[in-house]
Structure 1
């Protein structure tokens, strides 16, 4: 037990008294103070580490020179071979009016995909793994540091960069190159046909692209890369992530072989 000092009046005179406080309350108070201080320190440390994850915009400007053959950014930027990149952060995929996007990116935009650091990082890392039918011929930027620098540079040209969350985006995703041993698996098209019923409940055997992409006649390697991108959660589509996650490498190869050979 410990005491805290106070005063009371008795017969017109003040006397010092000691108010008794249970020790467990004192312990709780000290514990709360220590937890508060600990949380403050953690938040400060996390904030410092977080802010350091964004790349160097000056270096990113140099990286962008390779992109500038097709894209423009800054004052007066216009669509070229690729869309202009002003305001790319926080913009819906396929969101630039008047630009002819691929079906895949257009669908992603209609599904509500909005570009943030994470998604842009994945797309720049491996455009074809992110959106199979992308018209961007660029093979991807594998260096995570250069991607961070590039995106830090592009972030300057969003409406209000300071308000754009740096999110877990800057936690660099894995390099999504599919292992050569997986690509080398020879799928059994008959087994693929047996497995295909779950796919064709959504993807039409006619090959139509009415809201859901057609996969009839799709090159086997593209199919395998796309399915592993979903399996590894590289592509942002919860349903496809779930479906691909249930398939083995051999089953994906079998489906790829079946759909490559299939005709409407």
Structure 2
């Protein structure tokens, strides 16, 4: 009976850990509403094209400053992004919370998102699009990006 209890306890812990990591990913539907603040300069989804800012399909896991359909990043952004390997949740949170404070001289005029839930949700929304603008599982994308 003792071994059985340990197996059940271990399974419960594994389930709880899985549920906790699933809860850590923001809500893409709520993030879509937050993204309304970004639409004047950025596009995402099927048919997205560069605007004042680059289109954002497949951005999560991509290298910051990587080619986005010919978009020309500012020199300060290029310098900042040179040693970055991937847009993951941590780097996106830093960038989206204060773009101008993160990269002095960036072309991005947005003041940033200040609410942690807004940041988490918009990052989940961004992660829900692949390079072609089709839907994908944001939890899997964020997990893969975290290891880059």
Question: Is TM > 0.5 for Structure 1 vs Structure 2?
Answer: yes
Flag the structure with larger Rg.
Answer: 1
Alignment TM-score, normalising by the size of structure 1:
0.47
Indicate yes or no: 2:136 matched with 1:165.
no
CA 1:118/1:158 → structure 2, altered by over 3 Å: closer, same or farther? farther
SS in 2 for 1:164: helix
1:247 maps to none
Indicate yes or no: 2:43 matched with 1:87.
no
**Residues 15-44 of structure 1, C-alpha deviations (whole Å, 9 max, x = no match):** xxxxxxxxxxxxxxx56x655543332221
Alignment of 1:88-167 (within 5 A): 88-95=59-66, 96-159=68-131, 160-161=136-137, 163-166=140-143
- Preserved CA contact (<8 Å) 1:73 1:84: yes
Cα distance between partner residues in 2 of 1:79 and 1:94: 14
Greater RCO (Cα-Cα under 8 Å, separation 6 or more): 2
- Preserved CA contact (<8 Å) 1:117 1:166: no
Cα distance between partner residues in 1 of 2:50 and 2:86: 19
1:42 maps to 13
* RMSD over aligned Cα atoms: 2.4
Higher strand fraction (1 or 2): 1
Unpaired segments ≥5 residues, structure 1 = 1-29, 170-264
Aligned residues: 139
Unpaired segments ≥5 residues, structure 2 = none
Alignment TM-score, normalising by the size of structure 2:
0.80
Cα distance between partner residues in 1 of 2:79 and 2:47: 28
Cα distance between partner residues in 1 of 2:122 and 2:76: 24
- Preserved CA contact (<8 Å) 1:71 1:79: yes
Cα distance between partner residues in 2 of 1:58 and 1:130: 27
Alignment of 1:23-34 (within 5 A): none
